[in-house]
Amino acid sequence: MIRQLKIYLLCICLILSAVIMTSCSRDTNTLKDGYYFAETADFDEHGWKEFVSIYVSDNKIVTVEYNAKNPSGLLKSWDIDYMRIMNADSGTYPNEYTRMYADMLLDKQIAGELNVIAGATHSYDTFCLLANAVIECAKSGEKNTVYVDVH
């Protein structure tokens, strides 16, 4: 009888432990499937409005796009004149560093562990703000574009 009671109590403890562990391990940082967008609230002093978009599937960021657009919609990474000037001054250019930052976010899955690319430090700061905002959208399931004040 005592042996059966011990086994019964052990089973109850195991069941309670499983329930407690399941509820404690519930991830409040789960990313919801879908597309999410963040962009700067205003155009910068050079006339660019930066943006980040991600696609999430199965709690993982599977695509990242980072770029900027001018008022006419031209993408910064397509502006050949801007790229030539920036590359000569900084050693990098938008078509390069935007892909590198996007790849880092895709690899790390969080914005807090990204490395700064020499010559694109201002863009790093903006990218991190936008990436954090878009990840928060994915956590909450907010599908509307979020506008971030970076000034």
- C-alpha to C-alpha distance for 151 and 149, rounded to whole angstroms: 6
**Does the domain made of 34-148 have the CATH classification 3.40.50.300?**
no
Per-residue pLDDT at 9:
42
| pLDDT tens profile 27-72 | 457 999 999 999 999 999 999 999 999 999 999 999 999 999 999 9
Q: What pTM does this model have?
A: 0.78
Structure letter (DSSP) for residue 109: S
Helices (H), 53-144: 80-90, 94-108, 121-140
- C-alpha to C-alpha distance for 86 and 76, rounded to whole angstroms: 11
| Mean pLDDT to the nearest integer, 109-130 | 91
| pLDDT tens profile 89-117 | 999 989 999 999 999 999 999 988 889 99
Domain boundaries, the chain: 34-148
